[in-house]
């Protein structure tokens, strides 16, 4: 088990509906990470931006982007994760993929499709909450709109790290800031949110506000608004244990069952 987990947060612009160009640009950003890291996190729909035209960018789980992710994860000896449009069984999914250096892949399909943008009309919602283990850390991957639904993120599994990837627009970024911090505090976990910057093909503006919070809700990164940059944060397992044992907040959580 690693006592520390080093996480690289890539806050970046995305090229609209152009997977090849986005892979090229993200390769440059990943290659520029000179520190040893365990996890590299990319934004939501990192090959395309938040598109409602899935057929123009969709790939399968043997496609070019998955091959690229496996190559980069092996090269960096780090998990690389982010979401992209996947076509499977005649459905489109906004799928988070978490690719390990070994080539092992954990996937999570976004449960809460964004009805305001019509995402529910073109993408199939996921039904399963996913926790994966890497170097002794239990990690829960979620996607964008999931952030507004605390029951889905509730830490009933004693996970160590909650990660959201997003295309969260500037006009509602105050909610993003508040809810990321809240998810860390209420779940006694590290919480990282990775959002894009720039304009998309629908002229929606994104200002970033990617952030990492510790179990008490303290900000850990140094990213600024609209900054196209990479930040590295170091998470410490001992900090989780110390505050969970001292405060015992998770011991008082409610029991509940989710219904489909």
Which residues are the active-site residues?
A: 44, 110, 144
**Closest Cα partner for 189 from 212, 166, 221?**
212
Contact 103, 110 (CB under 8 A): no
- Chain length of the chain: 260
Whole-angstrom distance, CA of residue 105 vs CA of residue 95: 12
Give CA–CA dist 114/151, Å, rounded: 17
Structure tokens, 90: 């005649």
C-beta separation of 16 from 45 below 8 A: no
Question: From residue 165, how far is each of 61, 84, 252, 259 by CA, in Å?
Answer: 19, 11, 29, 25
């Amino acid at each position: 088990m690693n006592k520390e987990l080093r996480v690289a947060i890539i806050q970046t612009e995305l090229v609209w509906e152009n997977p090849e160009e986005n892979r090229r640009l993200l390769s440059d950003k990943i290659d520029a990470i000179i520190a040893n890291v365990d996890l590299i996190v990319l934004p939501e729909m990192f090959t395309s931006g938040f598109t409602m035209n899935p057929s123009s960018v969709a790939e399968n789980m043997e496609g070019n982007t998955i091959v690229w992710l496996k190559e980069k994860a092996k090269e960096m000896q780090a998990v690389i994760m982010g979401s992209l449009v996947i076509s499977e069984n005649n459905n489109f999914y906004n799928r988070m993929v978490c690719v390990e250096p070994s080539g092992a892949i954990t996937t999570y399909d976004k449960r809460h499709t964004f009805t305001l943008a019509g995402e529910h009309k073109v993408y199939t919602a996921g039904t399963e909450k996913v926790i994966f283990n890497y170097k002794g850390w239990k990690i829960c991957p979620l996607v964008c709109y999931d952030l507004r639904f605390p029951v889905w993120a509730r830490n009933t599994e004693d996970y160590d790290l909650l990660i959201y990837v997003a295309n969260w627009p500037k006009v509602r970024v105050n909610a993003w800031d508040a809810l990321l911090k809240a998810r860390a505090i209420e779940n006694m976990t590290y919480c990282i949110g990775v959002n894009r910057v720039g304009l998309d093909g629908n002229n929606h503006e994104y200002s970033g506000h990617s952030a990492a919070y510790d179990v008490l809700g303290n900000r850990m990164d140094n990213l600024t608004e609209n900054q196209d940059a990479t930040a590295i944060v170091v998470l410490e397992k001992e900090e989780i244990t110390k505050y969970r044992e001292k405060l015992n907040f998770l011991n008082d959580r409610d029991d509940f069952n989710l219904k489909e």
